[in-house]
Amino acid sequence: MRHRKAGLKLSRKTKHLNSMFRNLVTSLLKHDRIRTTDTKAKELRRWADHLVTLAKRGDLHARRQALAIVQEPGVVHTLFEKAAERFGKLAGGYTRTTKVGFRPGDNAPMTLVEFVGGETEAKKKKKPKKKAGAPTAAKKKPAKDAAAVAEEKPAEGKAKPARRKAAPKSDAATADAPAEPAKKKPKAKKEEASE
């Protein structure tokens, strides 16, 4: 009987399996999102949610338990600093999985695993929507012609001057101009001797 044997085997030995998930959860905590296969992602959720629960607890014993799993102490430190404010209102389900398609090499189904709670920062960065009836500043200003725009750009200092089209070369111009370096010819295939 397989009592108290939770988790997936994934055709790996126990040490390899634990090492792989420790690496995955460290990468997830460091980068906030990673891409992996579906089965690994489902198992990774358990590991990540357990670590966030430890971080919300925040005591020394929980920190030492997290350090036994996560490979980098700096990642554990940032997790324990930010977990209470980021996941304080949630009672589980700290990760989100999104299917992103199939891997090109072996057609394995891939999933994006990311932490929930990061979208509050993204919402703050979004600009408020403009009302449909309000005129925009671009509509009020008359459009400048291309020559006026070209004159203003060099004055800024960092803009590159506009490229000029080359005039067709005459025979006299080509005689005075330095010779262009010859292009390398592709190497000829060696003929195999049948002797």
- DSSP 3-state of 40: helix
Tell me the per-residue pLDDT of 112-147, one tens digit each, with 9 for 90 and over.
999 887 665 555 566 666 666 655 555 555 555 555
Q: Which residue has the tokens 């977990």?
A: 83
Is the model more confident about 93 or about 150?
93
The answer to whether domain 14-118 has CATH 3.90.1030.10 is: yes
Tokens standing for residue 162: 């506009």
| Spans of all domains in the chain | 14-118
**What are the angstrom distances between the C-alpha of 173 and each of 143, 163, 167, 182?**
41, 20, 10, 19
Q: Where are the alpha helices (DSSP H) in 58-176?
A: 60-69, 73-87, 119-125, 137-140, 146-156, 171-176
Of the listed ranges 51-60, 76-85, 162-171, the least confidently predicted one is: 162-171
pLDDT for residue 69 is more than 70: yes
The residues that bridge with 36 in the sheet, in sequence order, are 111
pLDDT at residue 33, rounded to an integer: 92
What pLDDT, on the 0 to 100 scale, is given for residue 92? 83
Please report how many Cα atoms fall inside a 13 Å half-sphere around the Cα of residue 175, on the Cβ side.
Answer: 3
In the structure, what pLDDT confidence band is assigned to residue 151 with cuts at 50, 70 and 90? low
Q: What is the mean pLDDT of the chain?
A: 77
Please report, as a single letter, which amino acid is at residue 161: P
* Predicted local distance difference test score (pLDDT) of residue 195: 47
